[in-house]
Structure 1
Amino acid sequence: MGHVKLQQIIFLLLFFIREDFGAPSSSQDAEGSGADPVLFVRDDFNDTKKYLVIDDMVLTKDLNKAGLINHAWPNAIVPYTFALTIIPQQKAMITSAIAELSTRTCLQFRPAKKDDAYWLLFQNDPMNQGCTSYVGWQNRKNQQVQLSTNCAKGNAIHEIIHAVGFYHEHTRNDRDEYIVVNYANVNPGQENNFRKENELDPPPETSVFDHPYNYDSIMHYGTNYFSKNGAKTVEPLNHPGASGKGDNIGQREYLSQGDVDMLNKKYDCPTLANVEDGLQSTKPPAPINANPVCNFSPQLPICSKGKVEA
């Protein structure tokens, strides 16, 4: 019992401590030493005056009021580092997700340096609460992207896309032309997860840039997300003007061409040739602990038919 209690104490210390160890990170840039490593950072997302948490998205209300909730990263450069809680398998998975985004967009991810004013911090929550990210550039050091050991590559791509300024596809202001949200089937108290962007208070600048509604998006909810009874909460209308197929909503297996187009338009990327399906990312690796149950949000673990969802 003494050993178990000691483990619990260490676990809690990992959860609450914010520590700067003063040594260069293993992630270094040729131009200088890396950002100082941290053990773990947790912002108080329960502070409702400061934050609005919608599923896996964290919105900073002050930035929302300023219309900067989905602000782009300056010059499309995204410095990043890894918290010491990230295990080698997670680091490899995140690196693979970053490589795919770097290859298919003009976003430039590089290891953070000590003199950077801001960067993403990839961390593993010791409480294993799931996948979470701020929406858009926060102009701060240690902007957290939280990935539990149950989060696979598709989840990492999903959260990074939040971090660079995008909401879920089903929250687009024009979504009612493409899907039906069955609020009668939604878990009580989780209706906010289905709010459109213009229903936020105040509404931010839109994160949609004149691209077709994308059923195939890695940012779209699946049909039974947050269902209280197993019935569909989201039903596609199979609109002919949308890209992808309605029966594919909720996929977390690849970055769709529509996602690539959306990112490239936001960041004024040069025109890139379409990537053939055969070159898109394949199914993500199995969860590190081989457990198909995936924690996706601070509020609720969700998994359906073995899919990795967020």
Structure 2
Amino acid sequence: MKKIILQLCFLVLLTIATVPLQAQVTRADSSSEILQRTATAPAAINLKRLRTSAEYFRPDFEVLQQGEYSIISLRLPGNSAAKDYYVKKIGSKLYLNGDIIVHDFNLMSTLSYTTNNNSYTWPDGTVPVILDNSVFASDYYVIIKSALDYFNYHTSIIFKERTNESNYIIISCIDNDGSGKAGASPIGKGGSGGNKIELIKDAFSRGTVIHELMHALGIYHEQSRSDRDKYVEIKFDNIKAAAKHNFQIERDGIARGAYDYCSIMHYPAFNSFAIDETKPTLVCKNNGVIVACPGCVGNNDEPTRMDLDGLDALYRGAGVSRAPYNHPFESANVPISGCIGVTDLSIVDKWKAYKGALGDCRSGLINLGILAANLVRFEHGAIYHSTHGVNVVYGDIYKHFVAKGFVRFGFPTSDEEDIPVTFSGWRRYGYTRVSKFEVRTIIWGPRVGTMDLLNADYVAGPLTREQLKLLELQRTEPIRLQH
């Protein structure tokens, strides 16, 4: 009998202990927006804060369809309140407006967008960086380093290799995921851990990297500021269904500074979001009247003065005020002493001949996997060994080549050389050196800098200064950033 009484008491206590827990779960379920699907509405989901800023309801990730929009309530960095946004699931991540990562289901700390998050700037304006192994698999490192160096030499921001810092960014080059973007990043500094910047292999340029680094520093898209409708009109009737929600307003409150059509954070008027790419997805306005957009809209590969002023104001408000660092980004993963280990003797021989111009090795031998081509990077250039022979690119021409991207030019087909006297037309306009590539030619002069043009146009030569200007405007095709 005593044993039966004890068992009954245990059951009563178990029931009493269980009831509050069941009630708590019910209240939690009722406080979250349950996934709703209709024929006309996207999946609706809301990540709400529990007891602390580190605890969230985890949405049922599996029910979200790849490439489909869902609705999520976010308080984006710097905003005064949460609001609903359309986000798209690609892989393990949720993306806002095409290239802003708002949640990674593999890294829960990525989602810091539901609480008071005014501390999204990087302490002291110093950003620790990890370059993962994919960055060194091709010529990507040169492009990425050039973008990191831009901030170190032109702003108060310092990008440095991570040692043991708890907050940092990871830059990774990934395979094309079919989303149409060239890169993606979270906004600002997230919670403890690494924020991942993604760059799509063979699709990103130096301008793409700078754009995503601006996001990582806390800067939003220009065409998504709260007052944008005064300055642009979005042509939703010419935007593909898969990109309809890439133009949402990101910041609330009063926008800072004048609207900057030429910002590196501005979408192009003509882009891959369009149903008909001969027509714009946005048009410019002046006092409510549609006007022609400046040619720079969405086509800059460097920040404008207003971009830099906005970044400076953001970090000056966070207590960062200093002259540029004026020191390059350096990675311990890149060899910096000698060319030991470079087994392509043809490249070694070429390096010995051009060592004064190239400097020391900055990589080992890289097999590009394209027609069995090899590459070695140096302090001031690179040597390619391809079916076109062993060719060197260096100096300002190399910087131009890296900034515009390999896809634009192809492999070099010659070493840099003086422009022959038979091409004296170019010399009349100040161009003295030339490097030829599979698709285009880059010319350079000490007074005029660099310009690239189609190979046939280089051979034809400029006949008049007006024709030269026309080449500069028409032949140097604008880069369509697919952010």
Same fold (TM over 0.5): yes
Query: Does residue 252 of structure 1 match 2:300?
Result: yes
Residue 284 of structure 1 deviates from its aligned partner by: 6.1
Q: Is the 8 A contact 1:118 1:139 kept in 2?
A: yes
2:167 — aligned with what? 118
- SS where residue 185 of structure 2 aligns? strand
Equivalent position of 1:270 in the other structure: 321
| Residue 73 of structure 2 is aligned to residue 73 of structure 1 | no
SS at match of 1:197: coil
Distance 2:132 2:118 in 1: 24
- Which structure shows the bigger proportion of residues in strand conformation? 2
Paired residue for 2:144, among 90, 94, 98? 94
- Tell me the SS of whatever aligns to 1:121: strand
Task: Letter of the 2:265 partner, please give it.
Answer: M
Q: Which residue type is aligned with residue 104 of structure 1?
A: H
CA separation of 1:117 and 1:152: change in aligned 2, threshold 3 A:
same
Q: 1:209 Cα shift?
A: 6.0
Could you tell me how far apart the structure 2 residues matched to 1:154 and 1:71 are? 23
The letter for the 2-side match of 1:211 is: G
Would you say the 8 A contact 1:218–1:259 is kept in 2?
yes
- Equivalent position of 2:434 in the other structure: none
**Counterpart amino acid of 1:59?**
V
1:55 — aligned with what? 98
TM-score (norm 2): 0.44
| 2:204 is the alignment partner of 1:151 | yes
- Map Cα deviations across residues 154-188 of structure 1 (whole Å, 9 max, x no partner): 11100100111122110000001111111111111
Alpha-carbon spacing, 1:209–1:185, altered in 2? closer, same or farther (3 Å): closer
Cα shift at 1:89: 2.1
Preserved contact between residue 230 and residue 286 of structure 2 (Cα < 8 Å): no
Check if 1:217 corresponds to 2:263.
Answer: yes
- Alignment pair present for 1:236 and 2:354: no
Distance in 2, matches of 1:140 and 1:45, equals 23
- Post-superposition CA distance 1:32-82 (Å, at most 9, x none): xxxxxxxxxxxx85557xx34321111248422214388211221100021
Indicate if the aligned counterparts of 1:253 and 1:284 stay in contact, CA closer than 8 A: no
- TM-score, normalization: structure 1? 0.67
One-letter code aligned to 2:147: A
- Stretches of structure 1 that go unaligned for 5 or more consecutive residues are 1-43, 199-204, 274-280, 293-304
Match of 2:404, SS state, is coil
- 2:184 matched to 1:132? yes
Structure label with greater radius of gyration:
2
Q: Does 1:197 align with 2:258?
A: no
The answer as to whether partners of 2:185 and 2:197 remain within 8 angstroms in 1 is yes
2: CA distance between counterparts of 1:283 and 1:264?
Answer: 29
Give distance in 2, aligned partners of 1:86 and 1:271: 30
Question: Are positions 1:183 and 2:245 aligned together?
Answer: no
Structure 2 counterpart of 1:80, which letter?
Answer: V
SS at match of 2:303: coil
Q: Secondary structure at the match of 2:193?
A: coil
Q: Higher relative CO (CA 8 A, sep ≥ 6), structure 1 or 2?
A: 1
CA distance in 2, matches of 1:227, 1:150: 18
How far apart, CA to CA, are the structure 1 residues paired with 2:322 and 2:128?
24
What is the DSSP-based 3-state SS (H/G/I as helix, E as strand, rest coil) of the residue aligned with 2:309?
Answer: helix
Residue aligning to 1:40? none
Q: Does 1:227 align with 2:274?
A: yes
Match of 1:285, as an amino acid? A
Residues 123-132 or 228-237, more deviating: 123-132
Q: Amino acid of the residue matched to residue 302 of structure 2?
A: Y
1:288 to 378, 392, 406: 406
For the residue of structure 2 that corresponds to 1:120, the secondary structure is strand
Query: In structure 2, do the counterparts of structure 1 residues 116 and 271 end up closer, same or farther at CA, with 3 Å as the change threshold?
Result: closer
Change (3 A) 1:66 1:182: same
**Partners of 1:121 and 1:143 within 8 A in 2:** yes
Alpha-carbon distance between aligned partners in 2 of 1:253 and 1:237, rounded to the nearest angstrom = 23
Question: Does structure 1 residue 104 correspond to structure 2 residue 154?
Answer: yes
Cα RMSD after superposing both structures:
3.2
